C-alpha cells in the first residue's frame, strides 16, 4: 500500500515560486533542513533500495503482513532565462511509513516497487517539462496543469498495481508488475 503526498518546499529564496503546496512536511530552516530531511526522508536511488530498518514497526492484530509506504513528489520551480525550470525528487517518508513484519521480503519488494513507480512518474513529469521548455512555454499554469495530470495518473497507476497484485500476494502479477515498471524505468532515462 502506498500513500502519496505531493508538495514543494515553500522555504526557498524569492527567486523560487510555488505552483502548488499540499504537504505534511517538517518545518526546517537553513542548513538544518538537509540534515533533518536525511533523517526522515530517503531520495529514490537505483543504488539505495528500501530496507525494513527504514520503516517503523507496528504491531497489528490482524492476520497477515501489512505495510504502508509514503512517498512525496517534491517539485521546486523557478525561472531561468525566462523559462520555468524545476527540480523534482521522489522522497520516501520514514516517519509515516510502517510495517507489521520486518522479515517478509516479498512484502518489502512490493513496497519497493511502489517507490519505483513514484520514480517512474517523476521521470514522466521531467519528460513533459522538457517538452514544454522546448516549445518555449512560459506560462506557469501550463506546467502546473501537466504536473497535476501526471500525478493523477500516478495515483491511478499505484492503485491499479495494488489491486492487480493483491498488495503483492498474487506472485505472478507481482512479478509481471515488477518487470513492467523496471522496463518503463529503463525506457525513460533523463538524468
- Give the tens place of pLDDT for each residue, 98-122: 999 999 999 999 999 999 999 999 9
Residue 15 or residue 76, greater confidence: 76
Pair 27, 9: CB distance under 8 Å: no
- How far apart CA 97 and CA 71 sit, in angstroms, is 9
pLDDT at 21 exceeding the cut of 80: no
Q: Which of 24-28, 54-58, 128-132, 145-149 has the lowest mean pLDDT?
A: 24-28
Pair 65, 104: CB distance under 8 Å: yes
- 158, containing H or E segment: helix 140-165
pLDDT at 33 exceeding the cut of 50: no
Among candidates 159, 39, 153, which has minimal Cα distance to 91? Answer: 39
Residue 20 C-alpha cell reads as: 502548488
Residue 95 or residue 32, greater confidence: 95
pLDDT at 59: 82
Domain count, the chain: 1
Region 4-8: what's the mean pLDDT? Answer: 41
pLDDT at 37: 57
Using DSSP's 3-state secondary structure scheme, residue 165 falls into: helix
- How far apart CA 163 and CA 167 sit, in angstroms, is 7
Among candidates 185, 159, 161, 155, which has minimal Cα distance to 173? Answer: 161
For CA atoms 157, 154, 159, 99, give the dihedral sign.
Answer: positive
Pairing, β 98-99 against β 67-80: antiparallel
- pLDDT above 70: percentage of residues in the chain: 79
Range of the domain at 12: 2-187
- How far apart CA 113 and CA 104 sit, in angstroms, is 15
pLDDT band per the 50, 70, 90 thresholds, residue 1: low
Mean pLDDT over each residue of the chain, to the nearest integer: 82
Amino acid at each position: 500500500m502506498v500513500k502519496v503526498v505531493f508538495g514543494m518546499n515553500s522555504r526557498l529564496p524569492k527567486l523560487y515560486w510555488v505552483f502548488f503546496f499540499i504537504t505534511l512536511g517538517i518545518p526546517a530552516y537553513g542548513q538544518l533542513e538537509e540534515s533533518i530531511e536525511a533523517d526522515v526522508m530517503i531520495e529514490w536511488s537505483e543504488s539505495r533500495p528500501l530496507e525494513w530498518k527504514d520503516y517503523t514497526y507496528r504491531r497489528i492484530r490482524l492476520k497477515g503482513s501489512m505495510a504502508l509506504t509514503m512517498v512525496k513528489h517534491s517539485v521546486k520551480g523557478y525561472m531561468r532565462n525566462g523559462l520555468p525550470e524545476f527540480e523534482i525528487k521522489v522522497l520516501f517518508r520514514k516517519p509515516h511509513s510502517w510495517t507489521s513484519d520486518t522479515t517478509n521480503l516479498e512484502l518489502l519488494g512490493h513496497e519497493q516497487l511502489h517507490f519505483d513507480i513514484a520514480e517512474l512518474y517523476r521521470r514522466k513529469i521531467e519528460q513533459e517539462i522538457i517538452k514544454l521548455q522546448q516549445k518555449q512555454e512560459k506560462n506557469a499554469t501550463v506546467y502546473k496543469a501537466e504536473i497535476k495530470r501526471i500525478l493523477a495518473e500516478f495515483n491511478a497507476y499505484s492503485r491499479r498495481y495494488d489491486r492487480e497484485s493483491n498488495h503483492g500476494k498474487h506472485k505472478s502479477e507481482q512479478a509481471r508488475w515488477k518487470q513492467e515498471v523496471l522496463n518503463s524505468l529503463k525506457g525513460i532515462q533523463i538524468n
